[in-house]
Amino acid sequence: MRVEETKAANIQRLIHLAFITNKYNFRKSEQWAMDVLTIHCQAPSKGSLTSICLTCSASTLEALIELCVRCGRQKLRLEIEKKWLKRLSNGELPVLHALEVGERLRLDSFLGQAYYDYAIKAGHQPASRLDQDATALEAPFSLGPDLPIIHRLRLNVGLVSLMFVGRAIEEGLQRDLRAFPTSPGQPTCTAHGHQKNCIPVLEKALKVLPEFNKTSSMTDVIRTLDHLIKKCSAKKGEPVCGVISSLENTRSKIQKALGEHFQVRQSLESEAASHESGPR
């Protein structure tokens, strides 16, 4: 095994090399540097080589994600984003840094999930949002006192926006999943395989979707759906069930909602910035 693929590798030097080779279009060198970084990012949580994303600084995560954007490594970027979000939910890293990176690189889904997870950690429980009177709409505006006013504005407006769509999404997704009969959802799925694999996955999905409106965050739901999709996905050469596409659509709708509802009109942000700067 080469030194670059062991713990002895100089990650910061590899990151610098990737930026330089990308800037000057040294494609082979760029590919080599990114391939080695991929090995270190995708390494398991245990073993002789562990993922650097589990222990590195927020600045290193930022550099890795920016490299993925520049070099067209979308799959790796999404994996790094998931690890970053998990560390945010564990309180290991500051949320503001992640929000700034998401805004700068226009990573709408990552940005939305970071905002939403921050709200959940701050004590906002979506379960009460539409079950109470209009005063429930005022609760989110007490969130984010430690954030700059522009980020606080995006957080609060986004939460209010999500209040009106969260329940509709959950109910619609449950209807879609319950519509699947006990027989295979696609002719390519065998009856035996459907009963053994697909139906249990559907049952688990129906249990986790209500958490969409409770104390669990949407990102927890997304992670669970990712797990269920992998579990339901057929191995090479085996039949495929339509359950997979339903779960994928579910995940996509949640991610889209998160990405869209934490965007605020420029006029509102300009007004917020003027309040933050104070009188001249």
The answer to whether residue 37 scores a pLDDT higher than 50 is yes
Give the pLDDT score at 187. 59
In this prediction, residues 34-58 reach a mean pLDDT of 88
Q: Could you tell me if residue 98 is inside a domain?
A: no
Domain-terminating residue out of 47, 77, 107: 77
Of 144, 147, 169, whose CA–CA distance to 156 is shortest? Answer: 144
Residue 265 is assigned to a structural domain of this protein: no
Average pLDDT over residues 168-193: 66
Asked if the structure places residue 229 within a domain, the reply is: yes
pLDDT (tens digit, 9 = 90+) per residue, 52-85? 999 999 999 999 999 999 999 999 999 999 999 9
Residue 27 has pLDDT above 60, yes or no: yes
Mean pLDDT over the full length of the chain: 76
Q: Is residue 142 in a domain?
A: no
Burial of 142: CB neighbours in 10 Å, binned 0-12, 13-18, 19+: exposed
- Of the chain, the percentage scoring pLDDT greater than 70 comes to 65
Residue 104 has pLDDT above 80, yes or no: yes
Say if residue 174 is exposed, middle or buried (CB neighbours under 10 Å; 0-12, 13-18, 19+).
middle
135 pLDDT band, cuts 50/70/90, is very low
Final residue in a domain of this structure, among 59, 77, 95: 77
Instruction: Among 12-16, 125-129, 186-190, 231-235, name the one with the lowest average pLDDT.
Output: 125-129
For residue 30, being part of any structural domain is answered with yes
120: in domain: no
Q: What is the pLDDT of residue 265?
A: 47
N- to C-terminal Cα separation, the chain: 61
Whether the model pTM is above 0.75? no
42, 77, 112 - which closes a domain: 77
Q: Is residue 245 part of a domain?
A: yes
In a domain, residue 54? The reply is yes
Provide the domain count of the chain: 2
- Residues of the domain holding 27: 1-77
